Structure 1
Amino acid sequence: MDTFFISHGSPMTSIDDKLPARHFMQSWQKNILPTKPKLILVVSAHWETPEPMVNIVDRNDTIHDFNNFPKVMYELEYPAPGAPELAKRVRELLNNAGFNTKEDKRRGLDHGAWVPLMLMYPETDIPVCQLSVQPEMDGGHHYNVGKALAPLRDEGVLIIGSGSATHNLSISEPEDGPVLPWAIEFDTWLKEALIDQRHEDVKKYEEMAPGAKMAHPWPEHLYPLHVALGAAGEMAKAELIHHSWALNSSLSYASYRFTT
């Protein structure tokens, strides 16, 4: 099973038919992954914890973790089955690799998980487990988390890192304006580093990438990429499977497939 990094973008992706990324996610089963996985593990930028944590539930609640959006978005539900056995397996693999893990028996899916999944797998028939990120740690830590989870790929588990290739929501520019230079620079660097298999550079993106601090004032939206990349292995090849821009020309929807 290949691993993936999906830029989930704005929660508006769930309803805004003008967004190209929405159509990309809707075409997932036709164009990207025709064979359904048995289980899904989502590493979401919107669950931050000091140590890796998984949710162990029988049925996932839908967390509407956003404010001041259209009312209809708060009525959306994605009641995917939970994946308790997968959660236990994730903990086993991470604990064996030296990580200190924890579990949450109440948490459902935040919008970093359910927004893309409701478009990719609207049938809600695949059990889903969610894994947190550690914003106080670095890219190397998250790459190693993914490396520990690599055996899941042979067990029919689809590993999705859900974040954003660029994520600076403090920038305000006209919606129809040109893409901002710092966003282009970082987005291009990330694509080239991944395709050239410069994994060490990606781990140390804050030092190596142009415009890194502008593109990611906080790192949580890029760390899911490190997990997905690490899970694909040291020889992983990257393929850009979607690219578009939104939100005042600074939010990249660049999404990648990692193949060993």
Structure 2
Amino acid sequence: MMDTFFISHGSPTLSIDESMPARHFLQSWGEKVFEEKPKAILIISAHWETCEPTVNVVQGPMDTIYDFNGFPKPMYQIKYPAPGAPELAMRVKELLKEGGFKQVKEDKSRVLDHGAWVPLMLMYPNADILICQLSIQTEENGTYHYNMGKMLAPLRNEGVLIIGSGSATHNLRLLSMDESFVTPWALEFDNWLKDSLLDGRYQDVNEYEKKAPYGKKAHPHPDHFYPLHVAMGAAGEKATTEQIHSSWRDGTLSYASYRFKTNK
């Protein structure tokens, strides 16, 4: 039975910047974090927002979306031609509809955005694992995405690795050029998130806007947080949580990442 994961991918410079501890953490994935090679990967990226849950149904090697501007030229030359997973997409759709999600759409042209290919190129550089993406709905809330994850739990028994890809904190307007310290509000939210997850207070995390210090400041838009709720829900209510990485960039951008250990 597979565990589920939340990965903070932070800035797309993670794809080239060798100075970033989070990059080295992801590069050590197969040796130090998760040695088992999955049959397929379902990734929920912060960078695919739709009105209804949507899966990408793509056959063959996928192209790469450069959904960022003003970055170094080498970043726009990276390719991650992982194969699509149309059968997994149909299975995800089936599970969500069985779980009460009446509208689940298919997208046959959507390929990998940087919330997917940046971490995956570091974790699985051979690009030889079937990949399916599932969208988020930012007009909904954390509980909605947690329940979405619960519907996907059977995939853990089917060789599918479920990964939420976002950021533990994500307020790009308040980034700092001073790397010598972490801004107090960001640190307080990050510590609250860690304590809540490790203590199993998943309901508090679902209601982070009310429960967390500086919740709205850490996530003025929820796109980078909802992938965590999906991964958390897919692990099950009796899962235990382990923090598998912690580092910072730009004073307010947390790269905290978590493993949700499922009951065997």
Q: TM-score, normalised by structure 1?
A: 0.99
- What CA distance in whole angstroms lies between the structure 2 residues aligned with 1:60 and 1:189? 38
* Alignment partner, residue 99 of structure 2: 97
> Matches of residues 107-186 of structure 1 in structure 2 within 5 Å?
107-186=110-189
* Alignment partner, residue 237 of structure 1: 240
> Matches of residues 194-213 of structure 1 in structure 2 within 5 Å?
194-213=197-216
* Alignment partner, residue 42 of structure 2: 41
Kept in 1: contact 2:166–2:224 (CA 8 A): yes
- What CA distance in whole angstroms lies between the structure 2 residues aligned with 1:93 and 1:242? 31
- Kindly provide the amino acid, as one letter, of the partner of residue 91 in structure 1: K
- What CA distance in whole angstroms lies between the structure 2 residues aligned with 1:252 and 1:196? 20
- Kindly provide the amino acid, as one letter, of the partner of residue 157 in structure 2: D
* Alignment partner, residue 256 of structure 2: 254
* Alignment partner, residue 83 of structure 2: 81
Pairing 1:12–2:13 present:
yes
- Kindly provide the amino acid, as one letter, of the partner of residue 236 in structure 2: G
Show structure 1 runs of 4+ deviating over 3 A. Answer: none
| Equivalent position SS for 1:170 | helix
Number of equivalenced pairs: 259
* Alignment partner, residue 66 of structure 2: 64
- What CA distance in whole angstroms lies between the structure 1 residues aligned with 2:72 and 2:40? 31
- What CA distance in whole angstroms lies between the structure 2 residues aligned with 1:88 and 1:256? 27
**Where do 5+ consecutive residues of structure 1 fail to align?**
none
**Where do 5+ consecutive residues of structure 2 fail to align?**
none
- Deviation of 1:16 after TM superposition, in Å, equals 0.1
CA distance 1:172–1:222, shift in 2 (3 Å): closer
- What CA distance in whole angstroms lies between the structure 2 residues aligned with 1:182 and 1:133? 26
| Equivalent position SS for 1:98 | coil
Coordinate RMSD, CA, aligned: 0.7
- What CA distance in whole angstroms lies between the structure 2 residues aligned with 1:112 and 1:60? 14
- What CA distance in whole angstroms lies between the structure 2 residues aligned with 1:136 and 1:182? 25
Most deviating of 174-183 and 232-241: 174-183
Most deviating of 97-106 and 173-182: 173-182
- Kindly provide the amino acid, as one letter, of the partner of residue 29 in structure 1: G
| Equivalent position SS for 2:173 | coil
* Alignment partner, residue 191 of structure 2: 188
Kept in 1: contact 2:175–2:253 (CA 8 A): no
Q: TM-score, normalised by structure 2?
A: 0.97
Give CA deviations for 1:12-41 in whole Å, capped at 9, x if unaligned. Answer: 000000000000000000001111000000
Identity of aligned residues (%): 66
- Deviation of 1:174 after TM superposition, in Å, equals 2.5
